Amino acid sequence: MIRNLQIFLLVCSSFTLGNREDTITIQVLVKNLSVPQIYLASYWGDKVTVIDSASAGSDSCYTFKIPRNTLKTPGLFRLIFGRSRLDIIINCTDTVVRVHTYYTNPLDSLRIRKSRENESYYNYLRHKEEYNHRMSLLHQLCKYYNPDEAFYTEIIRQVKSVQNEYRKCVTRIKKLNKGSFLNRIIKSEQTDWAPVQMDNREKIEYMKSHYFNHVDFSDTLLLRSPLLTQIVFSYVRIYANGSISRMEQQEIYKNVVDSILAKTQGNDRMHAFFIDYLSHGFEKLDFDAVTSYITEKYLLENTCVEEGRKEKMQYRLKHARLLSPGNKVPSITALDKNGKTIRLYDMDAEKVLIVFWASWCPHCRKILPELHTMYQKHGPKKFAVLAISLDTVRTEWERVVKSNNFSWIDCLEDTGWNSELANDYFLYATPTMILLDKEKRVLALPRTSAEVKEYLF
């Protein structure tokens, strides 16, 4: 009898716990919001993926019900309502999170209910913003006083006071949220400000050498937020230098890549993520030398990187190797718009610019007239242009050529990306420009008309 009662109580207890904990409820009340739906999105580094939507109830409250068994790990999630955004932490302990705010001013009007971790998160963000603001002001103020002045000593004292106050605040928040996802964020987000006594150059060097002091690249859970990608992006920006050439900048960025990826070694998943992140980032910036460097040194050997991505980058690497400065390019034989046979190696000019373009490419339509103005001023003996369209519809190519009244050599590869020429040059984008010397050796791969001009003169 007692044994049967124990079994009954155990089953009832399990049933009650199961009903209480089988879902996580996110309730969002946004005043002055008139959209029919809002969205919940998850983070994977800098990528945001919508995972659920909610419609307004009779009380104008939007409610998400997340099955607990689908939430394998805690993380930062994004609420998207109209043009506004709010991030919240969803963990494995909260059963209800209530968010109250105004659409026009979501951060300042934000109220969190039923989630100590989220209350602490926004409390932490406010203190961090205030701390960084005060430290920035003190650093600026320090420039106007000499070390032997009394007020300079007072600034130093204030810096120490502000730092101690912030440390105590962070310590309180961490004690209140032991073992939480928030504490993982706080641990890796702390910044070591350079001593105020340093000049700007010394501060930059200090920042470079201390930037990752607190970042835990072994904690894969942090990829459930944009924190690490934000930190790495900010670190890369420190090395941007507008006073040097593009090639010099890329050489610096290669060293930056090495320093970042040295930090991620030891965690295969983290290492693969940042190989891909940096590769994509420099690819978007058209820093081909850096992208090729990452591909050759890191990406191709990493077994965690998607095979499709590897194939794409291998192709781009072949393009970069083929068109490295000093290399002679493959021969080109094509018919121009008048039916005349054109051979690249027969073109007699001090410099030759090959431009692969297409009528459907908006950047091509912008840059071609700029190049043509340059050509009219300096060509054809000093500066010849071989413009090759990858249009598959001849009339579209002819329309652009005629409307712009191009006077350089225009040719058409009407099989487009599938043409032998596209394969010979490992083309993957338009416009692709290749500047050659008289012997048809690569001088540069300019991206803009301004860069063409820079290399020409």
- Whether a cis peptide bond, with omega within 30° of 0, leads into 106 is no
Residue 132: the pLDDT is: 95
Residue 114: the pLDDT is: 86
**Residue 97 CA to chain centroid, in angstroms?**
30
The Cβ of residue 66 has, within 10 Å, a number of other Cβ atoms equal to: 17
Task: Select the highest-mean-pLDDT range: 119-133, 237-251, 281-295.
Answer: 119-133
Residue 378: the pLDDT is: 83
Question: Domain spans of the chain?
Answer: 20-114, 333-456
Q: How far apart are CA 451 and CA 316, in angstroms?
A: 21
CA dihedral 82, 87, 88, 89 (to 10 degrees): 140
Structure tokens at 26: 């996110």
pLDDT bracket for residue 424 (50, 70, 90) = confident
CA dihedral 148, 151, 156, 158 (to 10 degrees): 170
Give the CATH number of domain 20-114; options: 2.30.29, 2.40.30, 3.90.550, 2.60.40: 2.60.40
Residue 15: the pLDDT is: 35
For residue range 131-175, what is the model confidence (pLDDT) as tens digits?
999 999 999 998 888 888 889 999 999 999 999 999 999 999 999
In contact, 354 and 322? CB cutoff 8 Å: no
Q: How large is the average pLDDT for residues 183-204?
A: 92
Q: How far apart are CA 358 and CA 94, in angstroms?
A: 55
pLDDT bracket for residue 305 (50, 70, 90) = low
Taking domain 333-456, whether its CATH number is 3.50.50.60 is answered by no
The Cβ of residue 449 has, within 10 Å, a number of other Cβ atoms equal to: 18
Mean pLDDT is lowest, of 12-21, 284-293, 313-322, for 12-21
For residue range 386-399, what is the model confidence (pLDDT) as tens digits?
999 999 999 999 99
For residue range 101-113, what is the model confidence (pLDDT) as tens digits?
998 888 889 999 8
pTM (2 d.p.): 0.74
